[in-house]
Amino acid sequence: MKRPLSVTVLSWIYIVMGTVGFIYHLKEFNLRDAFHDDTLWIEILRILAVVAGIFMLKAANWARWLAIAWIAFHVAISFYNGWQQVVMHSIFLALFVFFLTRPAVNVYFRRSPLSA
C-alpha cells in the first residue's frame, strides 16, 4: 500500500521541526549544568520528534502514537506560556489526530512489521 500523503507530510514536519529545534537549542546546552535546567529535556523531546517522523515514514504504528503524544505534551506545557500557545497547540493536536487516525492511515500502519 502506498503511504498516505498526510503521513508523509506530518512525518517530514516532525523530522524538520525536531531537527531545527534540536540545533536551535543546542547552543543553550551546557554539560556542566545539563541536569539543572530544561535544555536536556528539550533536546530529548526534539530527538523524539525526529524518531517519530522517521518511523512513521516506515509505517511503525508506535511512532504514530509517539507523534500524537508528543504534540499532546506540547499542549500541556503550553499552559505555562499563555492561552495563545494552548489554542495553537490544541489545533495542531486536533489536526494531527484527525490526519493520523483516518481509515486509510490505519491500514497503512497495520501493514508493517515495525507496527508491533
User: Could you count the other beta carbons within 10 Å of the beta carbon of residue 97?
Assistant: 14
The residues spanned by each domain of the chain are 5-115
Encode the chain (116 residues) as per-residue pLDDT tens digits. 789 999 999 999 999 999 998 888 777 766 566 556 677 778 889 999 999 999 999 999 999 999 999 999 999 999 998 999 999 999 999 999 999 999 999 999 987 665 55
pTM of the model: 0.84
Residue 36 CB neighbour total at 10 angstroms: 9
